[in-house]
């Protein structure tokens, strides 16, 4: 639970898109099916359109990443440019987003994208009205589990965008002892005791219907005088729900409780009544209507006829051109005070502004070498900007154009879980003498610091082999996190048999192993993965070889071992680029890594045949618009492997950050606490020495 009592932390964009993906597939199947008959009949196949999504009512927008994913799923050539961010307010007529690209795909996707956007914006708007109504009181507005089946993560995300907070996500992340449980157990005390005995780690909320029941809760161990008690402590009640109490009852409950435990008002909460409920002094007000009865926010999309040589509306072209001019102007104004770093996975319209481009290792070195720049703008994801901030000189500032651009893989290990693993391993072996912690650079700064403090090191996909060899020369075993695939592929290549590797599941005690199995292992592999690379499958390799004999398959070592084993070559991003650059004309490549990089290599090397391993037909590229048009495909596998968080960095966001610097405003700085930075630097410098 968070301090405020919210139990949800899984509504960041990567998780949002993960939850949205099956819903998008369902919506496309039910709405488009075999095709959009009207658009296919009326629109020429090569017609490009410019769509403008505007608000028809006032409200709060939520769901822009989902709308973007719908357009890109229906046709990867469609470009979605948001003009505001989720959580922003709009008035009637305000421009929300633009869409550019093939008309048929745009019109086929329109209704689905707007359905998501209107529904989620409606929830955000409705939530905001309640949040505004209780402004100035201590009450926090919460949602409930009354969400539409399958939509929970999306709808709870929308509540957050409206300024509310999430109650529990599901039945397994928090216990709520209600009247039926109490009836079955015989008393509140008995029910709470059973709850704590069965799941001592879970927070407990108890529903009471009157003051007598509240007195029983307050009389329990762990409540009286325990306002600072740790969440989930045995015997404690973390919150009390006042079920359908009238205002007088609520006021009496607040007096009786005197702040010893959080109080949540629930049941019959309307907009007309919510301010009075908040004034009664409760801490939380939960409202099912936020998600089950919110009216939609009316939005519409209008398209304009194509003009100009390219088929794009001139205004669209000028938007992109103007943005590019503004970024170049800001760069010129800042001169050597500004350096822009760009990861290879960035989109073309962003990476064109990078002074240095590279993979994680090269950019880490570039960041350390940028001694004269006052500002380092990192066009990449959050952990990369953190790494740059750790290696930065005193007085340098690192900025990330979108602070929400995280890394799905990096989020799969956190410090608490790694410390728990270290402690548990410590009961089986002498960890400080026997185990070297190795973190992939795709990890939070706190994990790099952990490695620094415990004799460990950072690695990238470029130097993982050298780092593993170094680590095993220090101590006999390695704890490798967070990417199991990179760890397994690297260890296997180093000659370590699979039987001497143990997959550490952070959700399970001792990673899910018996002590004897742990003692037998030389490499402990954290159970994490990159969603972009894990999508490459052995059948993709087989299919390409059947369709194009002689094609060489080259994959990134974040791909599963079965794919790496089948591939002709495996290597880091830098390796993949180098191999293409040094290959003769006519070479055929099916490459298993992030799509923007593959597409850029294809455009830069027309003398070779280059395709994504996930696409089924290399001949089916679109022309001249920087993204491929994929037709047909391995069944259900035609979606390109974009890194959605890398793609969150747009020219608009980059322009905002660099123009802010010109005006003396530092937008989206990335900082690392000094003690974390100090130890993280130790681990990073060990890596740079090992791979020098
Ligand atoms: S491609 Fe995978 S590992 Fe790389 S930033 Fe995206 S999610 Fe993270």
User: Which tens digits make up the pLDDT trace of 170-193?
Assistant: 999 899 999 999 999 999 999 998
Q: Assess whether pLDDT exceeds 60 at residue 230.
A: no
Q: Does residue 17 line the site of ligand 1, with CB under 6 A?
A: no
Percent of the chain with pLDDT over 70: 90
- Phi/psi region, residue 8 (left: phi>0; alpha: psi -120 to 50; beta: rest), is beta
- The secondary element (H helix, E strand) that includes residue 9 is none
Q: Is 656 in a helix, a strand, or coil? A: helix
Catalytic residue status for 178 = yes
Polymer length in residues for the chain: 692
Residue among 171, 177, 161, 113 at smallest CA distance from 290: 161
Which residue's CA is the closest to the ligand 1 atom numbered 8?
407
**pLDDT, position 533:** 93
Residue among 216, 175, 229, 180 at smallest CA distance from 198: 175
Catalytic residue status for 531 = no
Q: Assess whether pLDDT exceeds 80 at residue 616.
A: no
Q: Catalytic: which of 21, 56, 145, 146? A: 146
Q: Assess whether pLDDT exceeds 50 at residue 636.
A: no
Q: Catalytic: which of 21, 56, 111, 678? A: 111
For residues 160 and 282, give the distance between their C-alpha atoms in angstroms, rounded to a whole number: 20
Q: Catalytic: which of 15, 88, 173, 243? A: 243
Catalytic residue status for 653 = no
Model confidence over 476-518: pLDDT tens digits?
999 999 999 999 999 999 999 999 999 999 989 999 999 999 9
Model confidence over 434-450: pLDDT tens digits?
999 999 999 999 999 99
Q: Does residue 446 line the site of ligand 1, with CB under 6 A?
A: no
Centre of ligand 1 from the C-alpha of residue 384, in Å: 11
For ligand 1, what atom is nearest to the CA of residue 644?
A: 6
Centre of ligand 1 from the C-alpha of residue 69, in Å: 17
Which residue's CA is the closest to the ligand 1 atom numbered 6?
643
Model confidence over 360-407: pLDDT tens digits?
778 878 877 887 899 999 999 999 999 999 988 888 999 999 998 889
Catalytic residue status for 216 = no
Half-sphere exposure of residue 414: CA atoms within 13 angstroms, side-chain side: 4
pLDDT tier, 304 (very low <50, low <70, confident <90, very high otherwise): confident
Model confidence over 138-169: pLDDT tens digits?
999 999 999 999 999 999 999 999 999 999 99
Q: Does residue 385 line the site of ligand 1, with CB under 6 A?
A: no
For residues 111 and 188, give the distance between their C-alpha atoms in angstroms, rounded to a whole number: 49
Centre of ligand 1 from the C-alpha of residue 218, in Å: 48
Q: Which residue has the tokens 């350390």?
A: 368
* Angle at CA of residue 204, ends 203 and 210, nearest 5°: 155
**pLDDT, position 281:** 97
Centre of ligand 1 from the C-alpha of residue 671, in Å: 21
**Mean pLDDT confidence for 409-428:** 95
Q: Does residue 486 line the site of ligand 1, with CB under 6 A?
A: no
Contact 203, 1 (CB under 8 A): yes
Residue among 461, 459, 463 at smallest CA distance from 478: 459
584: tokens are: 């003769």
Q: Does residue 532 line the site of ligand 1, with CB under 6 A?
A: yes
**Mean pLDDT confidence for 445-459:** 97
pLDDT tier, 564 (very low <50, low <70, confident <90, very high otherwise): very high
Q: Does residue 536 line the site of ligand 1, with CB under 6 A?
A: no
Average pLDDT over the chain reads: 88
Catalytic residue status for 30 = no
- The secondary element (H helix, E strand) that includes residue 361 is helix 360-369
Q: Assess whether pLDDT exceeds 60 at residue 325.
A: yes
Centre of ligand 1 from the C-alpha of residue 409, in Å: 6
Centre of ligand 1 from the C-alpha of residue 525, in Å: 18
Q: Does residue 409 line the site of ligand 1, with CB under 6 A?
A: yes
Contact 330, 655 (CB under 8 A): yes
Which residue's CA is the closest to the ligand 1 atom numbered 2?
530
Contact 151, 23 (CB under 8 A): yes
């Amino acid at each position: 639970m968070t301090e405020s009592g919210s139990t949800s932390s899984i509504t960041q964009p990567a998780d949002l898109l993960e939850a949205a993906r099956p819903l998008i597939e369902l919506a496309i199947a039910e709405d488009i099916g075999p095709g959009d008959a009207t658009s296919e009949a009326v629109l020429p196949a090569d017609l490009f359109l410019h769509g403008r999504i505007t608000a028809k009512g006032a409200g709060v927008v939520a769901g822009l990443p989902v709308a973007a994913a719908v357009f890109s799923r229906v046709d990867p050539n469609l470009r979605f440019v948001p003009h505001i961010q989720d959580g922003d307010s709009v008035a009637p007529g305000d421009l929300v987003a633009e869409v550019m690209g093939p008309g048929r795909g745009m019109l086929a996707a329109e209704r689905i994208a707007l359905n998501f956007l209107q529904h989620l914006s409606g929830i955000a708007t409705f939530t905001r009205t309640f949040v505004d109504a209780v402004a100035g009181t201590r009450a926090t507005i919460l949602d409930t589990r009354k969400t539409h089946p399958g939509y929970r993560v999306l709808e709870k995300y929308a509540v957050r965008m409206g300024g509310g907070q999430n109650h529990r996500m599901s039945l397994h992340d928090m216990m709520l002892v209600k009247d039926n449980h109490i009836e079955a157990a015989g008393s509140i005390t008995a029910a709470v005791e059973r709850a704590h005995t069965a799941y001592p780690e879970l927070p407990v909320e108890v529903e009471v219907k009157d003051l007598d029941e509240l007195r029983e809760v307050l009389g329990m161990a762990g409540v009286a005088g325990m306002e600072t008690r740790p969440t989930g402590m045995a015997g404690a009640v973390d919150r009390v729900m006042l079920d359908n109490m009238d205002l007088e009852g609520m006021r009496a409950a607040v007096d009786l409780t005197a702040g010893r435990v959080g109080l949540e008002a629930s049941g019959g909460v309307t907009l007309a009544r919510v301010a009075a409920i908040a004034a009664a002094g409760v801490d939380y007000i939960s409202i099912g209507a936020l998600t089950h009865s919110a009216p939609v926010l009316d939005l519409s999309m209008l398209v304009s006829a194509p003009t100009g040589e390219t088929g794009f509306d001139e205004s669209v072209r000028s938007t992109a051109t103007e943005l590019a001019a503004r970024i170049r102007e800001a760069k010129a104004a800042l001169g050597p005070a500004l350096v822009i770093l760009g990861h290879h996975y960035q989109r073309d319209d962003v990476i064109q502004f990078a002074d240095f481009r590279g993979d994680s290792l090269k950019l880490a070195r570039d960041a350390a070498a940028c001694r004269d720049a006052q500002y380092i703008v990192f066009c990449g994801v959050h952990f990369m900007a953190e790494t740059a901030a750790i290696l930065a000189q005193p007085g340098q500032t690192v900025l990330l154009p979108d602070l929400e651009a995280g890394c799905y893989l990096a989020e799969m290990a956190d410090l608490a879980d790694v410390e728990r693993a270290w402690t548990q391993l410590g009961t089986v072996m002498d960890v400080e003498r026997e185990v070297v912690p190795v973190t992939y650079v795709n990890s939070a700064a706190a994990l790099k610091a952990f490695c620094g403090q415990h004799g460990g090191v950072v690695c990238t996909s470029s130097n993982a082999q050298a780092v593993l060899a170094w680590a095993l020369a220090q101590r006999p075993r390695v704890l490798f996190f967070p990417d199991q695939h990179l760890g397994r592929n690297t260890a296997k290549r180093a000659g370590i048999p699979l039987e001497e590797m143990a997959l550490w599941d952070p959700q399970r005690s001792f990673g899910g192993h018996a002590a004897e199995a742990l003692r037998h292992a030389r490499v402990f592999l954290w159970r994490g993965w990159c969603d972009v690379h894990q999508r490459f499958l052995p059948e993709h390799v087989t299919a390409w070889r059947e369709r194009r004999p002689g094609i060489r398959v080259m994959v990134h070592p974040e791909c599963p071992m079965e794919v790496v084993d089948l591939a002709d070559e495996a290597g880091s991003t830098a390796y993949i680029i180098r191999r293409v650059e040094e290959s003769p004309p006519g070479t055929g490549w099916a490459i298993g890594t992030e799509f923007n990089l593959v597409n850029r290599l294809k455009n830069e090397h027309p003398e070779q045949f280059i395709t994504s391993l996930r696409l089924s037909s290399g001949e089916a590229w679109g022309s001249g618009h920087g993204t491929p048009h994929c037709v047909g495909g391995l069944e259900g596998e035609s979606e390109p492997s974009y890194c959605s968080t890398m793609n969150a960095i747009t020219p608009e966001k980059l322009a905002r950050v660099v123009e802010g610097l010109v005006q003396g405003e530092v937008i989206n700085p990335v900082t690392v606490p000094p003690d974390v930075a100090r130890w993280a630097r130790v681990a990073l410098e060990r890596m740079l020495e090992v791979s020098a």
